[in-house]
Structure 1
Amino acid sequence: MPRTSETTAELASVVVENVHKDFKLRHTHSIKETVVAAVRRKPLTTDFHALDGVSFTINEGEAVALLGFNGSGKSTTLKMISGVLTPDRGTVRTRGRVAGLIEVGAGFHPDLSGRENIYLNAAILGMSKKETEERFEEIVAFSEIEQFIDTEVKHYSSGMFLRLAFSVAIHTEVDVLLIDEILSVGDEPFQKKCLARIRELHEAGKTLVVVSHDLDMVSTLCQRGILLSGGKIAFDGDSKQAVAQMRA
């Protein structure tokens, strides 16, 4: 099994061991281009090594930033931890309930209302119907979209998607919270509100794994930074040092 769930009372919340992940990049986008490339004996695909032997352990209660430029492998790593992707080689182990804010509106059905999608998304994140009912009013209040809660979400803006998705995720009984650039969407007051809530979760002992290009934010929110480059770990240590290396 490439990805397993850890149930023992170890301190580690996330263990990534020698993980490799490759993707095939297509060079043709139509039948005509494929035929022409084949006649000219040009390669139709190229292997892209997104992760090349990545290993690290994140302990319970840590706040860790995954850093790197586009194509470095940070979002792929986060998707491995969430279970959206599985490694080609190596293992990923997690302990406790993992909730991911990886894509705005992921898990939402466009033809359902915000109210219905709260129950749907909460169920995907592992909440029972009873848990969702108990927290429903709090979820809606935090999202600040009460007047649109019975509107189909296909009419929502990206900011409204964010508010609802974030609100559901942070009201889940989560042990590990994964965040990928989602705080870049939405207005500044709501971003500050989200950051305050994330800090509360961290202070309560939750494990945070954050991907963001906002280097100032991650250097204050996270104590540790893992800098990826070309699918390999280039630095693993203090977040401010990781940010300094990236900027250099």
Structure 2
Amino acid sequence: MPPGQPAIVVDGLGIRFNRHRRRNLFVRELLSRGESTAPDEGRFWPLRRVSFTVAPGEAVGVVGVNGSGKSTLLKLIAGVLLPDEGSVAVNGGVAPLIEITGGFVNELTGRENIRIVSALHGLTKQQLAERFDRIVDFSGVGDFLDTPFRHYSSGMRVRLAFSVMAHLDEPILLVDEVLAVGDKAFRARCHDKIDELLAAGRTMFLVSHSDADLKRFCTRALLLEKGGLVLDAGVPEVLERYTRGA
């Protein structure tokens, strides 16, 4: 990342979704009996006019009720979704811990998935060879390493995916509720690993409903309401406002 540049710049960001699934449109047309509809009927903005900047090495929490736009914001930053208005600039690679197993292939083994996902995020064969045992040990799925991913339990899937992402070199971590998944021992390992990554200067964007996690990792938080940014402040102030309005 070039020195002096922010890690993330979000400016007037917004995205528009269709409220109704395509398969329901025919039924809706029948019910309307040819009545004219407004061009934007059935569309809504899950996120709109959102602006903020994140500095390198900063850990920022994202707070809001379900449906407030938190996960949509992370997907826009990750490049999974493209905005309909405004812009998002990310200076550096991203390790997205959102819909965490989305990049894994069910028909491939755990070993093969580790190799493919690591390569997609820029690890060389030599770098992966140096980290492979640590990834497997952290995940705790060594006995199933050569088993197709489709046979993994949901907990095993999350453990392996988190372990791969946590051992990448990407400077920016996008974390969406993954710390709430898994057993107590694994969550403790995740917490320790994130502490280690932050101490090494990584930037983190954390979506969480856990006050404890937000207070532990973040010094700043964003409060989203109905797709808009209503407060950008210290974690205690944001949590107090969120609790008061929830």
TM-score class, shorter-chain normalisation, is: over 0.9
Instruction: Give unmatched runs, 5+ long, in structure 2.
Output: none
Q: Is 1:33 equivalent to 2:14 in the alignment?
A: no
Distance between the aligned counterparts of 1:22 and 1:35, measured in 2? Answer: 22
Task: Give the SS at the match of 2:4.
Answer: coil
Per-residue CA deviation, residues 145-177 of structure 1 (Å, 9 max, x unaligned), is 110111001011111011100100011012001
Q: CA deviation at 1:72?
A: 0.9
The 3 A distance-change label for structure 1 pair 110 and 17 is same
Q: Over the residues paired in the alignment, what is the CA RMSD in angstroms?
A: 1.8
Task: Give the SS at the match of 2:214.
Answer: helix
Task: Give the SS at the match of 2:42.
Answer: strand
Distance between the aligned counterparts of 1:59 and 1:243, measured in 2? Answer: 21
Q: CA deviation at 1:42?
A: 8.3
Distance between the aligned counterparts of 1:208 and 1:121, measured in 2? Answer: 20
Task: Give the SS at the match of 2:52.
Answer: strand
The 3 A distance-change label for structure 1 pair 179 and 42 is farther
Distance between the aligned counterparts of 2:234 and 2:147, measured in 1? Answer: 45
Contact 1:28 1:34 in 2 (8 A): no
Contact 2:16 2:43 in 1 (8 A): yes
**TM-score with structure 1 length normalisation?**
0.92
**TM-score with structure 2 length normalisation?**
0.92
Instruction: Give unmatched runs, 5+ long, in structure 1.
Output: 1-6
1 or 2, which has the higher strand percentage?
1
Q: Is 1:70 equivalent to 2:66 in the alignment?
A: yes
Q: 1:212 aligns with which of 193, 208, 212?
A: 208
1:16 maps to amino acid: V
Q: CA deviation at 1:120?
A: 1.2
Moved more, 27-36 or 148-157: 27-36
Distance between the aligned counterparts of 2:29 and 2:87, measured in 1? Answer: 39
2:32 maps to amino acid: A
Q: CA deviation at 1:67?
A: 0.9
Q: 2:170 aligns with which of 148, 153, 174?
A: 174
Task: Give the SS at the match of 1:236.
Answer: strand
Q: What corresponds to 1:118 in structure 2? A: 114
Runs of 4+ in 1 over 6 A off after TM superposition: none
Aligned length, in residue pairs: 242
What does 1:219-234 align with in structure 2 at a 5 Å threshold? 219-234=215-230
